[in-house]
Every structure is written in structure tokens, then in C-alpha cells.
Amino acid sequence: MKIMVVGGGGREHAIIKALKKSPKAEKIYALPGNGGIAADAECVAIGAKDIDKIVEFAKSNAIDFAVVAPDDPLVLGAVDALEEIGIPCFGPRKNAAIIEGSKVFSKNLMKKYNIPTAEYEVFESSEDALKYVESCKIPVVIKADGLALGKGVIIAMTREEAVDAVKSIMLEKAFGESGSKIVVEEFLTGPEVSVLSFTDGNVVIPMISSMDHKRAGDNDTGLNTGGMGTVAPNPYYTDAIAAECMEKIFIHTMNAMNAEGRTFKGCLYFGLMLTPDGPKVIEYNCRFGDPETQVVLPLLETDLLEIMIATSKGELKEDLVKFGNKHACCVITASKGYPQKYESGFEITLPQGTDADFYVAGAKLEGGKLLSAGGRVLGTTAIADTLEEAIEKAYTATKQIKLENGYYRNDIGQRARLALKK
């Protein structure tokens, strides 16, 4: 089969490496891919949001199956456009991708169908929002309605910060038009768990759980990033909690989307917080997480392409999805300065013969050299029988990467390791 993967980050590299293992995968294209992905797929210089060109490419290259990985093209309707010309796809249509594309939609969905989440109010006028935060409980969480590159969430620890957040999102439009509506919600506490699932609208099959590390610095200090590392499984996510989430969250969400006439097919990502009152949904994503995918898919023992095809046909079955009993750790190497201003164009030399896999995110090939070209440059994933060993192997390989301007967190997996010891 000729397969096309839309996207060009570490997540897409992990998806492509997993797809390559399928005996059915003859040729894989990445649109646009990146300098590192080029080792595993043919990269085509078409941007992930350029839907017309994506459709044109699929048609003229007789693509048999497409995987649309990032949020933007999904929310823009890439799957609808590809399906319209008869190309089967993995990923939700536009009317289902709204579960990530609009936080107002997802909060209202959860309220309507009794899915546990933080209490909230929606505001379309900055005056009403400002009045509300003058007297609401603090801390409070303020979220821009639309996609904001994972940055549209402000946790206000003081009333002053809450007022500033409303002003910056609604008046100064810090996240553009995605901030014309906001959700103001209750501040929750507890360990966070990412659960990616495959769903075709008939069944929902959770993948192995994972833990992201969102802050830039060790011990969860510094600014929020797209994710600086991950481990899987997440030790806080016990079998009992998994059963509770299945019953109260996953199945309800699938059924709710069906009832709304918005059947979700693809990877539905549940961002959960395990609060003292039970698990609650912090966010939904309409796609694989990054860098969660870089620890989840390497633990998948069955054929990803088979799963994706079955999902698109509405024929997903439990026995297609099997995960091993191992642990994975992914350490992201980023450009110094990320998530703020950083320089790129530095040569990346990957070590040979390590016991780890590299998933390249921000890199380009120039004159046969791999150069950094983004904030998050690459992830190093190791797998082992224990979490401790997976962490050690991932760091041993990460330390051997040569990248002048790189940095990484030193404590990926440490919180999970301590939780396992309890």
C-alpha cells in the first residue's frame, strides 16, 4: 500500500516508524516530514495545513491510505476533503475534530453528558469575564476557546493574574481569534495522565497510559512547553482507575459524539487529572499526543496499519490492539531558549549503536547534514523491562547526541519512579 502521513514532528516520525513495520506498507510519504523523517519516508514539501495541495498530491500519487496526524489539518477538514475523493483516512472528520478545536464545545459536551470535568463558565464578552474573575475562587484556569499551539491555557494563581489573563486573551488577542471566547474553570489538583485511544465510534480501545512533562525545567519549573519528555505506562493509572475511566469517561464520550451526530474515528486523546474526587477530563485532543506517541507506539506489539485501516472502516476490534508489559521513556532535546526565542541551524550528530530510538521533530537536511530547525529538536526513546532501566538507557543515548545548542530535562520519569516505589 502507498501511505501518506500528514505532519512533520516527532509524533509523525514515531507513527511512520510504527507503520513501516507493517508488511502491507510498501511506500510511505510524509507531508512535509522533516530532515530526520527523511531516513524513513519520502518527504514532500507540502505544508500540513495546505489541504488543497495535500488532496492533489494524494490523487496524483494514487495514495491508498492517509494518516492525518496534527490538530490543525484535522480541525480544518483534511479528512473530509480526502474522503471526498475516495481516499480512506485515519483521523476524525471536521465535525468530530471540534472536540479539540473548541474548548467551549468540549466543555458543553461533558456537561450535557455528565462526563466528569472541572466546573466552568463560558464568556464571550471581556466585561462579563472580568466581572466574574473579580469574585471567583482563586486559583482559576483561563482557556482560549480555539487552537493556540498548546499555549492557550493560563493558570492564574492570584486575582491579578486572572484579570491579566482575561485581558491578554480577550482584549490583546494574545492567541489571536481563538481567544474571542474563553472558558474560565475551576482549578483541579492531582497527578495528570494521558490516555490515547483508538475509536471507530463502535468501540473505544485505550492504548497504554503515559505521563507528559510539560514544563521546560527540572522539577516542573519554568515555562510550559509542548512536552519535554514522557514515560509509559503511567504508574498513577492503576487498573481500578482505568476501569473507572472506561465506564465514566471513555465510553460516555464516544456515545456522546455519536448522539451529537459527530462520530469520532481516529485517535481520541484523553488528558486526565486524577483528583481527590476521581478522574476528570482536563482536555480532549483529536489526535495522537506529542511526545506521548514516542513512548506509546514503541510499546505496541500489533500492526498499527491494520488498526488504522480497521478504525477507518468502523471494524476496530480489541484483539488488533496489544501492548507489551514493558516500560518506555522519551527524553526531548530542545534548542536552548525554547519555548521562547532560540537559534537553530546547528548540526545534529546522532550516536550509532545505542539501545534507543530517535524521533526527529525540528530538523532539516542541508548538504547531507542534519541541522536543528525548531524548538523541540528530537526525542530519544528507550524501552526496558523496568522504568528505571528505560530512563537510564534513554539518558545514556541522549547524552551522546551532539548538538551544540541543545538542552534537555534531567528528571524525565523521576516522579513516576517515586510513585512506583510507594
Q: Is residue 150 involved in binding ligand GLY (CB under 6 A)?
A: yes
d(CA 288, CA 281): 16
For 55-120, the three-class secondary structure string (H helix, E strand, C coil) is: HHHHHHCCCCEEEECCHHHHHHCHHHHHHHCCCCEECCCHHHHHHHHCHHHHHHHHHHCCCCECCE
Which one of ligand GLY, ligand AMP, none interacts with residue 289, CB within 5 to 8 A by kind? ligand GLY
d(CA 210, CA 417): 13
Q: Is residue 155 involved in binding ligand AMP (CB under 6 A)?
A: yes
Q: Is residue 271 involved in binding ligand AMP (CB under 6 A)?
A: yes
d(CA 281, CA 249): 8
Nearer to ligand AMP, 51 or 282 (CB): 282
Alpha carbon distance, N-terminus to C-terminus of the chain: 48
Which one of ligand GLY, ligand AMP, none interacts with residue 285, CB within 5 to 8 A by kind? ligand GLY
d(CA 312, CA 297): 18
Q: Is residue 118 involved in binding ligand AMP (CB under 6 A)?
A: yes
Amino acid at 253: T
Phi, psi of 88 (to 5 degrees): -65, 140
Subset of residues 279 to 308 that bind ligand GLY, contact rule: CB under 6 A? 285, 289-290, 292
The CB-nearest residue to ligand AMP is 283
Which one of ligand GLY, ligand AMP, none interacts with residue 188, CB within 5 to 8 A by kind? ligand AMP
Q: Are 307 and 258 in contact (CB under 8 A)?
A: no
d(CA 129, CA 118): 17
Which DSSP helix (H) or strand (E) runs through 217? strand 215-217
Which one of ligand GLY, ligand AMP, none interacts with residue 187, CB within 5 to 8 A by kind? ligand AMP
Q: Is residue 227 involved in binding ligand GLY (CB under 6 A)?
A: yes
Which one of ligand GLY, ligand AMP, none interacts with residue 227, CB within 5 to 8 A by kind? ligand GLY
3-state secondary structure (DSSP) of residue 395:
helix
Which one of ligand AMP, ligand GLY, none interacts with residue 36, CB within 5 to 8 A by kind? none
Nearer to ligand AMP, 217 or 271 (CB): 271
Binding mask 168-207 for ligand AMP (x = CB under 6 A): -----------------xxxx---x---------------
Q: Is residue 282 involved in binding ligand AMP (CB under 6 A)?
A: yes
Size of the site for ligand GLY (CB under 6 A): 7
Q: Residues 20, 53, 159, 214: which binds ligand AMP (CB under 6 A)? A: 214
Which of these, 68, 272, 275, lies nearest to 188 by C-alpha position?
Answer: 275
CB of 285 to ligand GLY, least distance (A): 5
CB of 397 to ligand GLY, least distance (A): 21
Output DSSP code: residue 181.
S
Nearer to ligand GLY, 77 or 150 (CB): 150
Q: Are 76 and 92 in contact (CB under 8 A)?
A: no
Measured CA distances, 194 to 4, 252, 388 (Å): 26, 17, 20
Interface positions with ligand AMP (CB under 6 A): 118, 141, 150, 153, 155, 185-188, 192, 214, 271, 282-283
Which residues of the chain form contacts with ligand GLY (CB under 6 A)?
A: 150, 212, 227, 285, 289-290, 292
